[in-house]
Amino acid sequence: MKKFMNTADTMVTESVEGFVRAHAEFVVFGAERKCIRRRHLTPGKVAVISGGGAGHEPMHIGFVGRGMLDAACVGHIFTSPTPSQIIGAIEEADTGAGCLLVVKNYDGDVMNFEMAAEMVAARHRIEMVIVSDDIETARVGDGRGRRGVAGTLVVERILGAAAEQGMSLDRLKSLGEGLSPKIRSMGVALTGVTVPHTQRTTFSLSATEMEMGVGIHGEPGHSRKPFSAADTIVRYLCEAIAGDIASQPNAKALLFVNGLGGTPPAELYVAYDAARRFIENGGIQIERSLVGTYVTSLDMQGLSVTLALLSDEELALWDSPVATAALRWGC
């Protein structure tokens, strides 16, 4: 296994250090380096906080800044941040209006964020929004519920924009819960993930196979299928998403094609072209688009398609100014 690292044990620490140094205009370390927060916090604004294991960069630390997150915590690779880290982020970011925690629907993340919220409940007003956009776990039916995957970016962006405009904590909680049935994602992989500590891939595929329904922690999907042309692969993803998402009369859509870490931009745009053709042929109007590598699974060669059916208000929040290391427009 070849990776640009010194040791597996120091990789996350050194990577986060490099990130903060590279993007000092947006972010600083919190106390004891438990979190990364916005360089300039806004007094009296609800703090929007998220986090998760390393290996998903630029999510979440790349989304810290104006119009998105106020703080984010980074755990070990594919491991939830600790309650202590999350408490550190709350203490750093709460400027008086309370905190909204945006949490991906994984057992470790939910447990640790809930524990942190309970531990500071006497000092801080906390609400939580659980992101569960992945259709795959619902299809498997094993009781885990939907995972939070690339749709987390959409939730963090819209809630961060609303908080920037002064929305109250209660209204942010309601807005986040309303987004849940309107965002769906599904991923596909051509390779597994190479985990630094184990120096092994999470699953192996032959040159003629692909894995459908993968997660962002290197989890295999629901089925292994013969490798196909891009149109065939993307049609499969889009059919599954279109059949699962809550219908919205006169809804306008955001289409997000996300690279999982090892897929070049040219291939992502091929996938976007196919996805847009399929979705528009199904009668859904694409109003906004995002294509790029934002929610990764280390070096997985794969991609995901996310469809979000948004109201005019939500589209306006998406369009409002954002200034982070990974997303920047309108500033």
Give the residue numbers annotated as catalytic, written as ranges. 56, 217
Amino acid identity for residue 209 in this structure: E
> Strands 252-259, 285-292: parallel, antiparallel or unpaired by DSSP?
parallel
User: DSSP characters for 254-287?
Assistant: EEEEEE-BS--HHHHHHHHHHHHHHHHHTT-EEE
Whether 175 contacts 158, CB under 8 Å: yes
- Give the whole-angstrom CA distance, residue 54 versus residue 195: 11
**What is the identity of the amino acid at 63?**
F
Q: Cα 31 to the chain's mean position, in Å?
A: 25
Strand partners of residue 36: 29, 72
Six-digit token string for 254? 């955001």
Which tokens go with 209? 């196979």
Q: How big, in percent rounded to 5, are the helix, strand and coil portions of the chain?
A: 35, 25, 40
Task: Supply the DSSP symbol for 182.
Answer: G
Quickly count helices (H) and strands (E) in the chain. 9, 17
CA–CA separation, 92 vs 277, rounded Å?
45
Torsion angle defined by CA atoms of residues 33, 35, 40 and 44, in that order, rounded to the nearest 10 degrees: -130
For the beta carbon of residue 269, count every other beta carbon within 10 angstroms.
13
